[in-house]
Copies of this chain bind each other. A is one copy, B any other.
């Protein structure tokens, strides 16, 4: 099937990153077209800005042409290629990365390492912060979602495409078990979702490390039983104090700086794991002879959200969890540049986009 048959001349609105602090919304980005017969075109209903989008926001090289950006979105299938078997126009769907969902990595629930997959904006795919997206491997990538959800439910469903699934991945990577005491390092949207995920998995005590009261307040509503505003050695001391000196059964690192992972490691109980999901801004992790004697380890990384969506969806649909509460600002596409600024200035916790 030749993609050109689906081309539309008018173009669409989409977000481009042109350099550090240089986010622009263009109105004449080519409409996506089916390129491979396993593609689908998804009209974006909701998108958002991810904490990880702030890394390129703060460091991208100048690029006059601009790169598409955005990887958290939820939308309605507009059309599917002739090779798509189990997805149809009109379905509400959420993707994260794109993945065939049939290779051995996908079968093991690691769609982020799919042998044929990739990230939005790479290999000529679209970014999620726009009006529409060409989705490769529609059968594998897209998870159908039911119904005609209201705004709040849509927001929570959107978090499955990344932020809540990422919090869940932190908890899974650290092997959180029922009854555990858990520390969450970081009170950003991922950290708050990690609190919610740990609670959902049965953690009994959840210590949230963060200093922004408005955020840690939401963390308490999500299940945090203690908040530690201290940082570094003082934070470690505080968490050890709260846990009778032992540290926690699992530490979820949701920041990405080496100080955060050091704190996470140091508050972890002997024999246990840190689950890291903060995009690492470091090259080395402090796991020396002290941690060797304590048998403390680190696992985790980019979250294979696709592997978790089906498991997490019922709790969202039935309202048992409301991860969408991390959105504290809603904007249109034209306001996306200011949305980045607001998140970067910590004026907003997480910004929802209604294209």
Query: Which residue numbers of A lie inside 8 Å of B, CB to CB?
Result: 105, 108, 110, 112-113, 173, 270-271, 273, 276, 279-289, 291-302, 304
Q: Name the residue among A273, A283, A299 with the largest chain B CB count within 10 angstroms.
A: A299
A298 touches B301 (CB 8 A): no
Q: Which B residues are in CB contact (< 8 Å) with A110? A: 270-271, 295
B297 touches A302 (CB 8 A): no
Q: Which 6 A-B pairs have the closest CB atoms?
A: A297-B299, A295-B301, A284-B284, A283-B288, A113-B270, A110-B271
A339 CB to closest chain B CB (Å) equals 25
7 pairs of residues in contact across A and B, judged by CB atoms under 8 Å: A105-B270, A276-B292, A283-B288, A283-B289, A287-B287, A293-B301, A294-B301
A280 CA / B294 CA spacing, docked (Å): 12
B301 touches A279 (CB 8 A): no
A294 CA / B289 CA spacing, docked (Å): 25
Known A-B contacts A284-B284, A284-B287, A288-B283; A297 and B298 likewise in contact (beta carbons under 8 Å): yes
A108 CA / B297 CA spacing, docked (Å): 16
Q: Which B residues are in CB contact (< 8 Å) with A295? A: 110, 112-113, 173, 299-302, 304
A280 touches B270 (CB 8 A): no
B300 touches A298 (CB 8 A): no
Q: Which B residues are in CB contact (< 8 Å) with A108? A: 271
A279 touches B283 (CB 8 A): no
Q: Which B residues are in CB contact (< 8 Å) with A282? A: 288
A262 CA / B293 CA spacing, docked (Å): 19
A326 CA / B308 CA spacing, docked (Å): 45
Q: Which B residues are in CB contact (< 8 Å) with A296? A: 301
Q: Name the residue among A281, A293, A301 with the largest chain B CB count within 10 angstroms.
A: A301
A30 CA / B273 CA spacing, docked (Å): 43
A145 CB to closest chain B CB (Å) equals 25
B302 touches A292 (CB 8 A): yes
A271 touches B302 (CB 8 A): no
Q: Which B residues are in CB contact (< 8 Å) with A298? A: 285, 287, 297-299
B279 touches A292 (CB 8 A): yes
Q: Which B residues are in CB contact (< 8 Å) with A289? A: 279-281, 283
User: In the complex, what residue of chain B is closest to A299 when comparing beta carbons?
Assistant: B297
Q: Which B residues are in CB contact (< 8 Å) with A113? A: 270-271, 294-295
Q: Which B residues are in CB contact (< 8 Å) with A281? A: 289
Known A-B contacts A105-B271, A283-B288; A297 and B294 likewise in contact (beta carbons under 8 Å): no
A99 CB to closest chain B CB (Å) equals 13
User: In the complex, what residue of chain B is closest to A273 when comparing beta carbons?
Assistant: B299
A302 CA / B295 CA spacing, docked (Å): 7
A298 CA / B280 CA spacing, docked (Å): 15
Q: Which B residues are in CB contact (< 8 Å) with A276? A: 292
B292 touches A173 (CB 8 A): no
Q: Which B residues are in CB contact (< 8 Å) with A288? A: 280, 282-284
Known A-B contacts A295-B112, A296-B301, A301-B294; A285 and B283 likewise in contact (beta carbons under 8 Å): no
Q: Name the residue among A113, A286, A297 with the largest chain B CB count within 10 angstroms.
A: A297
Q: Which of B280, B283, B300, B304 contacts A297 (CB 8 A)?
A: B300
A284 CA / B299 CA spacing, docked (Å): 15
